[in-house]
Amino acid sequence: MTTRAESSRPVSEVLGVPPAAHKVRDRSFVLLLGALTSVALIVLAVLLIDTAIDGVPQLSLSFLTSFPSAFPAKAGIESAITGTLWLMGVVTFVIVPLGVASALYLEEFADNSRWWNRIIEVNIQNLAAVPSIVYGILGLAYIVRGPLSLGRTVLAGGLTLALVVLPVVIITGREALRAVPPSIKEGALALGATRWQAIWRQILPASIPGIATGVILSISRAIGETAPLILVGAATFVAFNPTGLDSPFTALPLQIFSWISQPNDEFRMLAAAAIIVLLVLLVLLNAVAIRLRNRYQQRW
C-alpha cells in the first residue's frame, strides 16, 4: 500500500518545483558553479599578473649573474640558481633508484596478504600527507645534526628534499607500472623468462615514459619546496656558488623568502623577479613532462 501511495505522488511533489520554474534555477545554478570554478583561476591569473608587474622590470642579465647583495640594485640570483640545480641533482640521484625500486617491489613482488607489505603501502600513503616542514625537522635532527651530521650543506638539503618527494615518485611509478597490461608480462613468462627478466626487458621499458613523468613532476615539486630548506639550509646570504656536495648553499625559494622577509620594498621587487625565474623553470619542467606523457604514452 505504501509503495503505491508513494509512486502515485505527482512528479512535482517528489522533485520539488514545477518544471516552468526549473529553467531560471537551472541557469543560475550553472552560473554559480561556473563562478565558483573560475575563482581559483582568477586568483591564479591575478597572482601571475601582479608578480609580473612587480618583477619583470627587475629582470636583467646582471640579475641572473649577480650574487645576493645588501644593495638591491646590485643583488642577483646566480648562487640561488646554481644552488637549486645542485639540490635537484642530489634529489634526482636519490629518488630515481629508490623510487623506481620501491614501486617495482610493491607492484611486481609484494604479496599483499603479508602484513609487512600492507604496512609499507599504508606507510607510503601516510608519508605523502606529512607536511613538508616535518621533513625539515627530520633533516635538521638527523641529517644536518645528529647521526649524519652533514651540516647545512648541499647534500643535506638535497637528501631532505628527496625524502619529501619520494612518496610521490613511488605512487606515480606504481601507476606507470600498473598501466602496462599483464599480458606483456605473461607473454614473457610463458616464453620462459624469469620474473626479473620479464620486468627488466618488458615491463620497465614500457613504463619508462610514465615513470619519467612522475620523476619530473616530483622534481618540480622539490624545486618550489621552501619550508624544509628553511630548517636545513638557513644560510640565506650566500654570495658564492656551491663547489661540491659539502658546500653551503642557498636556493631560489630560500632567496625569495629571505627577500620577502626584508621590510624594504626594493627587495620585495627582487623577490618578484626571482619568483618569475622560478615559475619559468617550473613551466619548462612541466612542459617536458606533458610532452613525454603525450608522446610516449602507449594505448594498449
- What is the footprint of other proteins within residues 23-82 (CB under 8 A)? 25-26, 29-30, 32-37, 39-41, 43-44, 46-47, 50-51, 54
Residues 84 and 252 sit within 8 Å (Cβ to Cβ) = yes
Closest approach of other proteins to the CB of residue 70, in Å = 19
C-beta closer to other proteins: residue 34 or 244? 34
Closest approach of other proteins to the CB of residue 11, in Å = 5
- 94-113 residues near other proteins, rule: CB under 8 A: 97-98, 101-102, 104-106, 109-110
The region of 60-68, 84-92, 242-250, 275-283 touching other proteins under the rule CB under 8 A is: 275-283
Told to check if 141 binds other proteins by CB under 8 A, we report: yes
Residue 187 is placed in which grid cell? Answer: 607473454
Closest CA to 102 of 182, 156, 188, 163: 163
Told to check if 226 binds other proteins by CB under 8 A, we report: yes
How many Å apart are CA 275 and CA 256, to the nearest integer?
A: 7
Pattern 164-193, other proteins, x by CB under 8 A:
--xx--x--------------------xxx
C-beta closer to other proteins: residue 61 or 215? 215
Closest approach of other proteins to the CB of residue 273, in Å = 11
Closest CA to 94 of 18, 195, 163: 163
The region of 78-86, 179-187, 237-245, 267-275 touching other proteins under the rule CB under 8 A is: 267-275
The region of 60-68, 78-86, 221-229, 292-300 touching other proteins under the rule CB under 8 A is: 221-229
Closest approach of other proteins to the CB of residue 244, in Å = 23
> Of these, 69, 195, 262, 297, which contacts other proteins (CB under 8 A)?
195
- 295 contact partners, CB below 8 Å, separation of at least 6: 209
Distances in whole angstroms, Cα of residue 188 to Cα of each of 191, 196, 202, 298: 5, 10, 8, 19
Closest approach of other proteins to the CB of residue 154, in Å = 18
How many Å apart are CA 197 and CA 193, to the nearest integer?
A: 6
> Of these, 57, 131, 181, 182, which contacts other proteins (CB under 8 A)?
131
Distances in whole angstroms, Cα of residue 271 to Cα of each of 76, 220, 228: 10, 19, 19
Closest CA to 54 of 277, 259, 270: 270
- 211 contact partners, CB below 8 Å, separation of at least 6: 100, 103, 172, 173, 176, 177
Told to check if 20 binds other proteins by CB under 8 A, we report: no
C-beta closer to other proteins: residue 206 or 251? 251
How many Å apart are CA 23 and CA 30, to the nearest integer?
A: 11
How many Å apart are CA 250 and CA 113, to the nearest integer?
A: 46
How many Å apart are CA 133 and CA 262, to the nearest integer?
A: 22
C-beta closer to other proteins: residue 59 or 98? 98
C-beta closer to other proteins: residue 127 or 208? 127
